[in-house]
Amino acid sequence: MTASPKSLAPRPLSLAAVLEHAWGADDFTASAVMGATGLTRSTTIEAMDTLAGLGLLRELPNARVTSSYRKGRPARRFEVREDAAVLVGVDAGHARVTVVVADLRSRTLATHRLALDVERDDATTRRRLIVAAVSDALRAAGRTRHDVLAVCVGVPAPVDAEGRSPRHRTGFWDLMNPGLVDAFAWAPLVRIDNDASLAAVAEGAVGAAVGCPDYVSLLAGTRLGAGVVVDGRVLRGAHGGVGEMIAFDHVDGVGSAEGLGTRAAQWARAEIAGARLAPESALGAMPPERIDGRSVLELAAAGDADAGRVAARVAAVLARIVSVLGSMFDPRLVVVSGAISAGIDEVIAAARLALPTDLDLPAPELVGSRLGADVVVVGAVAAASATARERVLDVWRQPAT
């Protein structure tokens, strides 16, 4: 996306209305836009021509050219130029970075993954590696920074409306969000957000919460984190702290913000160390250093009795977490998201049965995500797309020809 700005002055509201319709349609005619927006024909055609001149729309061959024309004047057809720019979604997690470059239809062009050395981590190095990972992903997609319209990065820290994280007593939040809003200032549109909030965006866009205005996406693998959606809006708070789970340090039956995966692995290792396993136990045959939460829950789902005892403890904690979230935010739905969602169906079923029955509010429905470990980067692309749709006409620069 290069070259000089071109005026959007004639009818910016009509441009926005036409472009919003275009973004959600495969291809369209002026009549379709008029029916959807209420604009007059002359205003609609002028807006379509302006957007085509800006490089945001492309005019398609008419029906006469494609041999489908029967009689009368063929209608002009347009579509969004999905290749006019790219969107970049980033999951900048504690131990790994995932970058997806997508076109304006959110179709993936390239994916790049990078493992981080958490033992040699510092803010400067982390920032450099995240930016480099984006450059590598753009290169793999055959694009450059000049093609980028919007970047969205998810981090395991609260993030305020300006893309910055508050100070943390251990420095963890500063490390996880090392000035990323400044590092990506070269992009026209930049959004830095909490990873659980972006998981919620993903679930609402293409996941288990499509069409649901009130839900919580619970990232529960290593640490607990919640993306909270109320009345169709992701809640943020003054410092981006809505959904921070440190309060569970003070909740009986939960006791900390450690994730379900962390607990499952710890409890499984304790079972092995205590020699409390059956001789035929698949859990007992697994080397302790290879045990993680997902593997334990998958063994439980496969019928291993010893792993099943661990899963039952996990289910009891999950039920308590869901009951607290239900009392705090009154969601219709809680979605267990992230890598831990694989193999967790039986845990969720047990947690449903363990939900307290004496709460004043109805208990939320509890389901597992089907978006897997990439839920945050899926949400980052969806958020980049939403930001682009909302603000593209404020920042657009006509592509060079």
CATH 3.40.50.2020 describes domain 12-80: no
pLDDT of residue 272: 87
- The whole-angstrom separation of Cα 288 and Cα 62 is 65
Query: pLDDT tens digits, residue range 286-320?
Result: 887 889 998 999 999 999 999 999 999 999 999 99
Other beta carbons less than 10 A from residue 16's beta carbon: 19
Domain spanning 86-207+376-395, CATH architecture: 2-Layer Sandwich (3.30)
Render pLDDT for 144-196 as a digit per residue (tens, 0 to 9): 999 999 999 999 999 999 999 999 989 999 999 999 999 999 999 999 999 99
Give me the mean pLDDT over the 339-359 stretch: 87
Mean pLDDT of 226-244: 96
Residue limits of CATH 3.30.420.40 in the chain:
86-207+376-395, 215-370
All residues at 6 or more sequence positions from 8 whose CB lies less than 8 Å from its CB, including other chains: 15, 50, 54, 393, 396
Least confident range of 201-215, 322-336, 358-372: 358-372
Per-residue confidence (pLDDT) for residue 284, from 0 to 100: 87
Residues of the chain with CATH 1.10.10.10: 12-80
Question: Where does 215-370 sit in CATH, by number?
Answer: 3.30.420.40
Query: SS3 sequence, 173-230?
Result: HHHHCCCHHHHCCCCCEEEEEEHHHHHHHHHHHHCCCCCCCCEEEEECCCECEEEEEE
pLDDT at 2 over 50: no
Q: What is the mean predicted confidence (pLDDT) over 346-361?
A: 88
Average pLDDT over residues 227-240: 97
* pLDDT of amino acid 71: 56
Residue 69 has pLDDT above 60, yes or no: no
pLDDT above 50 for 401: no
pLDDT mean over 58-74: 65
The helix/strand/coil state of 317 is helix
